[in-house]
Amino acid sequence: MTPRITIIGLGYVGLPLAVEFGKKFPVVGFDIHERRLAELRAGHDRTLEVDAAELQAASNLSFSSRIEDIRGSDFFIVTVPTPIDGYNRPDLTPLIKASETVGKALRSGGIVVYESTVYPGCTEEDCVPILEKFSGLKFNKDFFCGYSPERINPGDKVHTVTKIRKITSGSTPEVAEKVDSLYRTIVTAGTHKAPSIKVAEAAKVIENSQRDINIAFVNELSLIFERMGIDTQEVLEAAGTKWNFLPFRPGLVGGHCIGVDPYYLTHKAESLGYHPEIILAGRRLNDNMGAHVANRVVKLMIQKGHKVQGANVLVLGLTFKENCPDIRNSKVIDVIRELQDFGCNVSVYDPWADADEVRHEYGLELSPRPNGEQEGATDAVVLAVAHDRFRELDMGRFSKDNVVIFDIKGFLAKAAVDGRL
């Protein structure tokens, strides 16, 4: 029997998944945002993860915001975001709302698979009761669940959804095999069937926690080596000649994964009476790097004789990573806010970011050109994101005018900048 699939949430994770399944099976891409649906029907993906040709190739894919259109699906795959609130606590609101929607559409025999990053136990302890309440069905009798964590890397055109090995799991051995079989139809890189949903949930949340801790380590090294007058990049290049040295680099840790997921794990640990030491220490260190960068820029401006109050600073890049329009949880904003607190006039240029999204999310107006708002009056430039398009900029014109150039990403040659992490 050909499975009928519904994908709940059509963002960076859900849309590529819907497109791949839509090449083989009847798929409904469900989203509550009508503007998003209209754009996709017109063949445009604002996240730039899927192009028009790929959308067209998914001939079995349709889009809807109506529960009537998803009732009776065999599989519901939930790919909504799982952010944190202002106190770094997990915000399950999108996940809860999505579960309510699925519950209203769920029929006997249905399988609900969650891909959203959560803490271990969330699927069965938080989501299942909602599914039962809104469907009137009994878990593992009338309906079943699975968990298959997303591994999408926004902006990466090499490691796409079909080329990344997929972890799968199910609430019973039989369902685990069904979930695994479904994903095997599209994932050419293969799958790994975890022994339980909790194991699959834990595997996902530690992936990004591990990276967060490693980046925190090199960020701390950069703080130490700065005091020693040693260039951190040169140290890491030298150490990297050993075959098993891990190639992490210092920087701002933002985005919807690395800067968020560790808090899901620590939240669950603290609810069980354990206070994580290393994970939270890494989070604190990484969360403070934006202020550290701003302070270094200000010190360099003072050393070059610039007046900080009223200085014009150009920040290049606002997205959380290079060559990607995703601005969620970008830590560049921490640099900007700190510079503004010093009294600087900050202009931000980013050819990848959407001006309306930036205005809504951060209350900022993007500069329409890569030289700030005031031609010839720039006092400092902060290269915050390593977009390929920034290689086309003539940074030499700034150095001629005694402008401070700070390179967060190690994007430019050492001789071309005044400071870098």
Mean pLDDT, all residues of the chain:
92
Q: Which amino acid is it at 366? A: L
For the cut 90, the answer to whether the pLDDT of residue 399 exceeds it is: no
Longest dimension (CA), the chain: 74
Condensed to tens digits (0 to 9), the pLDDT of residues 141-186 reads 999 999 999 988 777 777 888 999 999 999 999 999 999 999 999 9
What CA–CA distance (Å, rounded) separates 136 from 130?
10
Based on C-alpha coordinates, what's the Rg of the chain? 23
User: In this prediction, what percent of the chain has a pLDDT beyond 90?
Assistant: 80
Of the candidates 67, 106, 81, 66, the residue with the CA atom closest to the CA atom of residue 14:
81
For the cut 80, the answer to whether the pLDDT of residue 84 exceeds it is: yes
Q: Is 313 helix (H, G, I), strand (E, B) or coil?
A: strand
What CA–CA distance (Å, rounded) separates 331 from 310?
23
Condensed to tens digits (0 to 9), the pLDDT of residues 209-249 reads 999 999 999 999 999 999 999 999 999 999 999 999 999 99
Q: Which residues pair with 192 in a beta bridge?
A: 167
**If 0-12 CB within 10 Å is exposed, 13-18 middle and 19+ buried, where does residue 307 land?**
exposed
Q: Which pLDDT does position 412 carry in this prediction?
A: 85
What CA–CA distance (Å, rounded) separates 39 from 289?
37
Which of 127, 145, 257, 344 is catalytic? The answer is 257
Q: Give how far Cα 302 sits from Cα of 298, 309, 318, 338, 405, Å.
A: 6, 11, 25, 16, 13
Which pLDDT band holds residue 394 (cuts at 50, 70, 90)? confident
Q: Tokens 């560049």 correspond to what residue?
A: 332
Neighbour tally for 201: CB within 10 Å: 28
Q: Which pLDDT does position 374 carry in this prediction?
A: 53
Instruction: Look at the alpha carbons of 113, 116, 121, 124 in this order and tell me if their dihedral is positive or negative.
Output: negative
Which pLDDT band holds residue 415 (cuts at 50, 70, 90)? confident
Condensed to tens digits (0 to 9), the pLDDT of residues 105-150 reads 999 999 999 999 999 999 999 999 999 999 999 999 999 999 999 9
User: What is the 3 state secondary structure string of 166-190?
Assistant: EEECECCHHHHHHHHHHHHCCCCCC
Q: Which pLDDT does position 14 carry in this prediction?
A: 95
Condensed to tens digits (0 to 9), the pLDDT of residues 27-80 reads 999 999 999 999 999 999 998 888 899 998 888 999 999 999 999 899 999 999
Neighbour tally for 121: CB within 10 Å: 15
Q: Tokens 């969330």 correspond to what residue?
A: 122
Q: Which pLDDT does position 371 carry in this prediction?
A: 67
What CA–CA distance (Å, rounded) separates 221 from 209?
19
What CA–CA distance (Å, rounded) separates 126 from 276?
22
Task: Output the CA angle 386-391-393, nearest 5 degrees.
Answer: 115
What CA–CA distance (Å, rounded) separates 240 from 238?
5
Of the listed ranges 23-27, 152-156, 251-255, 320-324, the least confidently predicted one is 152-156
For the cut 70, the answer to whether the pLDDT of residue 253 exceeds it is: yes
Q: List, in order, residues 6 or more apart from 9 with CB less than 8 Å away.
A: 30, 31, 78, 79, 80, 81, 94, 98
Q: Which pLDDT does position 140 carry in this prediction?
A: 97
What CA–CA distance (Å, rounded) separates 185 from 148?
14
Q: Which pLDDT does position 400 carry in this prediction?
A: 64
Residue 344 is a catalytic residue: no
What CA–CA distance (Å, rounded) separates 305 from 74?
67
For the cut 70, the answer to whether the pLDDT of residue 376 exceeds it is: no
Q: Which pLDDT does position 258 carry in this prediction?
A: 86
Condensed to tens digits (0 to 9), the pLDDT of residues 257-273 reads 888 999 999 999 999 99
What CA–CA distance (Å, rounded) separates 183 from 165?
10
Q: Which amino acid is it at 218? A: V
For the cut 60, the answer to whether the pLDDT of residue 373 exceeds it is: no
0.95 surpassed by pTM: no
Task: Evaluate whether 286 touches 320 at the Cβ level (below 8 Å).
Answer: no
